[in-house]
Structure 1
Amino acid sequence: MPEPILEVRDLTVHFYTYAGVVKAIESVSFDVYKGETFALVGETGCGKSVTSRALTQLIESPGRIVKGSVIYHSDNGPIDLLKLNEEEIREIRGKDIAYIFQDPHASLDPLYNVGYQIAEAMVVHNTVKDWKDGFKKALDILKRVLIPDPESRIKNYPHEMSGGMKQRVVIGTGLTNNPKILIADEPTTALDVTVQAQILELMNKLKREYNTTVILITHNMGVVAEMADRIAVMYAGKIAEIGTAKQIFKNPLHPYTQGLLRAVPNPMTKIERLEAIPGTVPNLIKPPGGCRFHPRCPFAKEICKQKVPELKEVEDGHFVACHLY
């Protein structure tokens, strides 16, 4: 078996709002193995981004991590990231575990040039001797992420760059300290198709160079097919299915996974109309009892309304939470 670098167990996150308690993440468990690209997929609002932020305690008020553990297998041994205080988690966040957020415009500070912002990530974590060394390495990073004319671009402010260039800077900033885990939260959402392809190719290249483990969050099944080794499908704050990319695409077991894949257009076949999953995502203040997908599921039985299905291994490495199995 591959060696896990991250073990997530029973992770639960609630948001305490005036309307009620939003049960955003409920008992989410999965492993991420060293050197792989692990994709979290599902429709908007299913809890992918909340899960990724909870891994390093990036949940802000009114949210709260209610229970669970996130065991990170560092060079110094296993650490439960949820038991660390703010100072301890900041040592890991940005150094061992780095993020690429989905909106590069919001990720970069408009008051500082990009060279300063890349160098700052290294200075804060003491991975360079001083600011001069930081700027020198920032220039190398701009070259690595294939930004043209890096010597002049290093002095540019974010508003002087295109969306694709800004996303490259954000990727470069995430890789400054050679992180063990890189969490990419929809890194290609705001980009056009040709730039998307360049960014994905760049991420694959840098992953191989740095031997980085990638957690990819997306709802784009094309990106998942291109990038992922293993996939976890989320629905309404719970894991519905986990498997290798081949298992999920060739033999999807959960009715929600099957519906997701049927909704993706296939350029090789002529389809008059794409299939859609009937109904809407449930209100997570009052989620449905039993399986959260049962109101929209064509195979729902009485047990689906009453009992929460457990995540069970159906074949080697292929897990599904469904009473059909």
Structure 2
Amino acid sequence: MRRVPEPILQVRDLTVHFYTYAGIVKAIEKVSFDVYRGETFALVGETGCGKSVTSRALTQLIESPGRIVSGQVLYHKEDGSVVDLLKLKEEEIRQIRGNEIAYIFQDPHASLDPLYTVGYQIAEAMGVHGKVKDIKEGIKRAIEILRSVLIPDPERRVKNYPHELSGGMKQRVVIGIGVANNPRILIADEPTTALDVTVQAQILDLLERMKEMYKATVILITHNLGVVAEIADRVAVMYAGKIVEIGSVDQIFKNPLHPYTQGLLRAVPNPMTKIEKLEAIPGTVPNLINPPSGCRFHPRCPRVMSICKEKVPELKEMEPGHFVACHLY
């Protein structure tokens, strides 16, 4: 009998719009997925498809002119209770954000305050949630955290300001701030974007270590399919604010069903096969102020049918755990 995985987060029909002078940007529309306890769940797609907006909406981090229009984010707490994170007041969500659900943001330069030492910033993250009694204890813990994220000579580095550290070191500090409160869910938004390839590999190894050490569930936001293949357990593919396919890493890489997923994989070099030339997906990402009718991918789809232009496809389960939103199936 197949063991049913235990969800830690259930997202249902999440919709976020941005109200601009040019019109309403329908950034994400009716996005639904489950994240299971202890897994690494990757959200992938082209730049601008709504991955980061989705991750920020989970804890109400959408700023004006954006607004969460509808949906539910059901969070399964440690005591067994379930809360809808979108219904919580600001003070209540602050108890969870940065404590039980923490973020590693994409740009370490923007995530760190240039006016404070990195030790103070890690200590502050713990102090806000009452994990340390004062700044002195916080700095002591910060040294341990810097050591755990493999920063050499942490006793000295704890007194450094962000500008005194390299990009890779800063990203390690940001991961340190993320794991400081031992979160149950760690949301990593493009954690390797600004780094060179060797440092990227180190940061991915570090994320895996932190996940094991803190028994955390990781939601990984990325457009890098190589990263997904290496560390993810399950994948959701996004296109133009909608999820088009969800499956395990094996299902998505060995048997991609949606024409967009197939196009994405054909555009990536595969060292195992001989490819004469990589294929690009024709056309451009649609304008989300006025998205295409029906399936949003239909203007670029090589297998488009007339129904695709009229009816929005629903996410259907094709095999256990493998869902696709496409009229071909």
Give the aligned partner of residue 192 of structure 1. 196
| 1:104-129 Cα distance to aligned partner (Å, 9 max, x none) | 00000000000000000000000112
Match of 1:142 in 2: 146
Q: Could you tell me which residue of structure 2 aligns to residue 8 of structure 1?
A: 11
Match for residue 125 of structure 1? 129
Whole-Å separation in 2 of the counterparts to 1:16 and 1:205: 40
2:290 is the counterpart of 1:286: yes
For residue 279 of structure 1, what is the amino acid of its counterpart? Answer: G
Q: d(CA) in 1 for partners of 2:251 and 2:321?
A: 9
- Structure 2 counterpart of 1:203, one-letter code: L
Partner in structure 2 of residue 271 of structure 1: 275
Distance 1:227 1:47 in 2: 21
> C-alpha separation between the residues in 2 aligned to 1:262 and 1:272?
12
Q: Provide the TM-score with structure 1 as the length reference.
A: 0.99
Encode CA deviations 1:204-243: one digit per residue, 9 max, x unaligned. 0110111100000000000000110000000000000000
Indicate the residue corresponding to 1:62 in structure 2: 65
Partner Cα separation in structure 2 for residue 246 and residue 130 of structure 1: 47
Q: Tell me if 1:295 matches 2:299.
A: yes
CA separation in 2, counterparts of 1:269 and 1:93? 44
Per the TM alignment, residue 269 of structure 1 is displaced from its structure 2 partner at its CA by 3.7
Give 1:250 deviation, angstroms: 0.4
The 5 Å alignment of 1:24-173 reads: 24-76=27-79, 77-173=81-177
**Letter aligned with residue 288 of structure 1:** P
Q: TM-score, normalised by structure 2?
A: 0.98
| Paired position in structure 1 for 2:25 | 22
2:229 counterpart SS class: helix
- 2 CA distance for matches of 1:88 and 1:45? 30
Shift of 1:268: 3.6
Residue ranges of structure 1 left out of the alignment (5+ in a row)? none
Query: Which amino acid counterpart does residue 15 of structure 2 have in structure 1?
Result: T
C-alpha RMSD of the superposition: 0.7
Corresponding residue number in structure 2 for 1:213: 217
Corresponding residue for residue 311 of structure 1: 315
User: In structure 1, how many angstroms separate the alpha carbons of the residues matched to 2:274 and 2:9?
Assistant: 42
1:255 to 256, 259, 264: 259
CA distance in 2, matches of 1:62, 1:268: 46
Equivalents in 2 of 1:97, 1:56: separation in Å?
A: 8
Aligned AA (1:7)? Q
Deviation larger for 145-154 or 268-277: 268-277
Q: Provide the rounded CA distance (Å) in 2 between the counterparts of 1:15 and 1:132.
A: 43
Q: Secondary structure at the residue paired with 2:168?
A: helix
Residue 319 of structure 2 corresponds to residue 321 of structure 1: no
